[in-house]
């Protein structure tokens, strides 16, 4: 099953006999405080207009635990996550489509969590809300309680597994190149990358319209980064959000990949872990 869905296909499915559950996960990581602007309010954006029947999901509160030793966006408590998903109407036997404001990172985090915890049918709206040409709604729906019970599965890396994968397989760093090289670090305490990781900015997986490149182009990109047939692939970023978007791009290219959720925010918090700088993996 394709992990992404176009706006036209979503409109068709919503009009069908088995419409998907829609989750609105608008979220932004911004430098609003430095700019003197208020932080982005995903719920306010949702209430101003969302896809009909969509339920708002808060990334910071429902798709992650509080920041700490596990990084800035560690895994959520699964009981809490399950409650949030059932409240949104998520059931194991009904498809789910997730969208955000267009960047795709937050939607991909929700997609990854649902897939990792056992939901069999989850897709991300390609291009997010800006790709939708139908009407928007301002009412807040009250869906029937879902029955989804999350059960953790495979595909999750911790720091030690990520370090090992950087040596034995392909560990991709989804952050901007300048953060990978250690030239800047606007968020985390140390600049640089995990030794052996390859720079693979997730922004290069989409075109100018914010939609994913065709599967063949994505596969060619990852092959050029050293992802070989049958190789084990892992991805990390700053806090496990944009890396989920890269895992989604890999899935669209037909390449399974694992996610290091703690990512650089966890790795760099331990002074005993090695740090590499510069354009080369080592």
Tell me the pLDDT tens digit for each residue of 252-263: 999 999 999 999
Does position 265 have pLDDT exceeding 70, yes or no? yes
Quick one: what percent of the chain has pLDDT higher than 70? 97
Quick one: what percent of the chain has pLDDT higher than 90? 92
List, in order, residues 6 or more apart from 217 with CB less than 8 Å away: none
Q: What is the largest CA-CA distance in the chain?
A: 55
Pick the CATH number of 156-267 from 2.40.40.20, 3.40.50.1860, 3.40.250.10, 3.60.40.10: 3.40.250.10
Q: Are 103 and 131 in contact (CB under 8 A)?
A: no
Residue 221 DSSP symbol:
H
Overall fold of domain 4-131? Oxidized Rhodanese; domain 1 (3.40.250)
Distance CA 10, CA 131 (A): 11
Lowest mean pLDDT among 30-34, 102-106, 181-185: 30-34
| Intervals of CATH 3.40.250.10 along the chain | 4-131, 156-267
Sort residue 69 into left (φ over 0), alpha (ψ -120 to 50) or beta: alpha
Nearest to 136 by CA among 88, 101, 86: 101
| Residue from 3, 23, 110, 237 carrying the catalytic annotation | 237
Report the pLDDT averaged over residues 89-96.
Answer: 97
Distance CA 112, CA 45 (A): 23
Does position 31 have pLDDT exceeding 90, yes or no? no
H or E element in which residue 86 lies:
helix 78-87
Does position 43 have pLDDT exceeding 80, yes or no? yes
Q: Is 237 a catalytic residue?
A: yes
> What is residue 28's predicted lDDT score, i.e. its pLDDT?
87
Q: Read off the pLDDT band of 175 (50, 70, 90).
A: very high
């Amino acid at each position: 099953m394709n992990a992404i869905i176009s706006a036209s296909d979503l409109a068709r499915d919503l009009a069908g006999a088995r419409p998907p559950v829609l989750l609105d996960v608008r979220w932004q990581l911004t430098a609003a405080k430095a700019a003197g602007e208020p932080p982005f309010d995903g719920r306010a954006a949702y209430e101003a207009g969302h896809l009909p029947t969509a339920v708002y999901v808060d990334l910071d509160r429902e798709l992650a635990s509080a920041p700490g030793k596990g990084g800035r966006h560690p895994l959520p408590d699964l009981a809490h996550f399950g409650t949030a998903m059932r409240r949104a109407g998520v059931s194991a036997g009904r498809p789910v489509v997730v969208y955000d404001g267009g960047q795709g990172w937050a939607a991909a985090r929700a997609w990854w969590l649902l897939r990792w915890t056992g939901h069999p049918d989850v897709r991300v709206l390609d291009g997010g809300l800006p790709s939708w040409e139908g009407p928007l709604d301002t009412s807040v729906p009250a869906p029937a309680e879902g029955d989804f019970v999350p059960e953790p599965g495979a595909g999750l890396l911790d720091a030690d597994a990520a370090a090992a994968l950087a040596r034995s397989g392909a560990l991709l760093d989804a952050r901007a190149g300048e953060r990978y090289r250690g030239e800047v670090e606007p968020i985390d305490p140390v600049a640089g990358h995990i030794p052996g990781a390859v720079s693979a900015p997730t922004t290069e997986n989409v075109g100018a319209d914010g939609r994913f490149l065709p599967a063949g182009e994505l596969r060619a990109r990852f092959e050029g980064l050293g992802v070989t047939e049958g190789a084990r692939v892992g991805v990390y970023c700053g806090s496990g959000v944009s890396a989920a978007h890269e895992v989604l791009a890999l899935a669209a290219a037909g390449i399974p990949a694992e996610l290091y959720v703690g990512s650089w925010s966890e790795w760099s918090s331990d002074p005993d872990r090695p740090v590499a700088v510069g354009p080369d993996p080592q």
